[in-house]
Amino acid sequence: MSKQEQGIILSENLAVNLKQAIDRCPHDKLFILTDEHTSRLCTPRLWKIGYLSGMKEFVIGAGDTHKTLDTLASIWTWLSNSGATRHSLLLNLGGGMVTDLGGFAAATFKRGFPYINIPTTLLAMVDASVGGKTGINFNGLKNEIGVFAPASSVLIDVRFLSSLDHHNLLSGYAEMLKHGLISTESHWAELLRFDPKQVDYDRLHEWIGKSVQVKKAIVEQDPFEHGIRKALNLGHTVGHAFESLALKENRPVLHGYAVAWGLVCELYLSHIQTGFPVNKMMQTIRFIKENYGTFDMNCQHYETLYEFMLHDKKNAAGTINFTLLEDVGRISINQTTDRETLYGMFDFYRDCISM
């Protein structure tokens, strides 16, 4: 992680920690970006903080369907009409869609000004708000346009999760499960004991801290994804293809659900290509099947999914690039395979997840 993003804080006192973060960014004007949900459910906590009075708020539509060039342009227009300068400061309060869009807007308006992320969903806390990736969906593809632009600070307050619904909690948890798979066997094993029907928030708080540290340590080694940072893409090559297909067919799915289903596929690929143990593969798949259900597809979708994977940003020279595992914590980046093996992977997914 670059020196710009050292302020990742598991906050116990949002008012105090946010003031410290804002004070580290001298600014002429302060702005806040939210979506329709976070404006209603989460922004009232900020309005109670006295030093935020007079802050200008812009509310965008909720959901990944609004992560578009049109929405980005509306944010630029708002900033311009509100007199923002390259010395202004933006607070992104919301889930990953808000932090991705807001970060991209801040990084590009007048060639860039600082921003602070205050993630309100589990997915944003452990993934989207940390690491400096910003962007939008474009031309039917996930995160097709964007830049690396780390937040000045990321403030993680798990109390925001009390307003999070079951499906969005699970969506974020899929990224935590991925972090377990690429870190240690003990962390992976404890994550499989999570009961999303009876959430232990104290334990979840502890695991969020571990998850953020896994990502932070990897990003610090490789901020621009030339090497080991590709470990964070486990489950995402196929997962993004599932997301893109779902958007194309007007049946959008939550990002974390797509990643969970992508993990099923890529753990199978890991098993046949790099020797990932079958017992650990099936333990993980069992947890995913019990909690995430299935993505409905048939063999007629294989070619479309393959074409979506060909557009993945990690590819080189038209070859689909995978991050696979030899075992929990033993990562193999830059793995490739052929179309026939990928179609067999989809067959495995349909057979095991629907049993």
CATH, residue 302: 1.20.1090.10
The token pair that represents 209 in the structure block: 């801290």
CATH number, position 33: 3.40.50.1970
Last-in-domain residue among 105, 135, 163: 163
**H helix intervals, the chain:** 14-23, 36-41, 43-47, 69-81, 96-108, 122-123, 166-181, 185-191, 201-221, 236-248, 255-274, 278-292, 302-310, 339-353
Pair (154, 212) in one structural domain: no
Q: Do 234 and 187 fall within a single domain?
A: yes
Q: What is the pLDDT at residue 2?
A: 36
Pairwise CA distance, residues 192 & 255, whole Å: 19
Q: What does residue 227 show for φ and ψ, rounded to 5 degrees?
A: -145, -105
Same domain, 198 and 345: yes
pLDDT of residue 4: 39
* Domain's final residue, options 163, 195, 216: 163
The pLDDT of residue 228 is 95
Rounded to the nearest angstrom, the gap between the alpha carbon of residue 39 and the centroid of all alpha carbons in its chain is 20
Measured between alpha carbons, how far is 225 from 109 in angstroms, rounded to an integer?
A: 24
C-beta of residue 27 within 8 angstroms of C-beta of residue 88: yes
Place of tokens 């080694």: 221
Exposed / middle / buried, residue 162 (Cβ in 10 Å: 0-12, 13-18, 19+): exposed
pLDDT of residue 355: 66
Q: Are residues 334 and 199 in the same domain?
A: yes
Range of the domain at 96: 3-163
- What stretches of 149-251 adopt beta strand conformation (E)? 153-156
Do 187 and 132 belong to one domain?
no
Quick check: 180 and 188 in contact, CB under 8 A? yes
Residue 196 and residue 300 in one domain: yes
Distance of CA 141 to the CA centre of its chain: 15
Q: How confident is the prediction along the chain (355 residues), in pLDDT tens digits per residue?
A: 333 345 899 999 999 999 999 999 999 999 999 999 999 999 999 998 988 977 899 999 998 889 999 999 999 999 999 999 999 999 999 999 999 999 999 999 999 999 999 999 999 999 999 999 999 999 988 889 999 999 999 999 999 998 899 999 999 999 999 999 999 999 999 999 999 989 998 899 999 999 999 999 999 999 999 999 999 999 999 999 999 999 899 998 999 999 999 999 999 999 999 999 999 999 999 999 999 999 999 999 999 999 999 988 778 778 899 999 999 999 999 999 999 999 999 999 999 987 6
Q: In this structure, are 159 and 176 located in the same domain? A: no
Do 119 and 225 belong together in one domain? no
Q: Are residues 173 and 159 in the same domain?
A: no
Residues 301 and 326 in one domain: yes
Distance CA 240, CA 260 (A): 11
Helices 255-274 and 278-292: crossing angle, nearest 10°? 160
Of 147, 163, 179, the one marking the end of a domain is 163
Which tokens is 58 given?
């812009």
- The H or E element containing residue 7 is strand 7-10
**Are residues 335 and 213 part of one domain?**
yes
For residues 178 and 116, state if they share a domain: no
Please give the tally of structural domains in the chain: 2
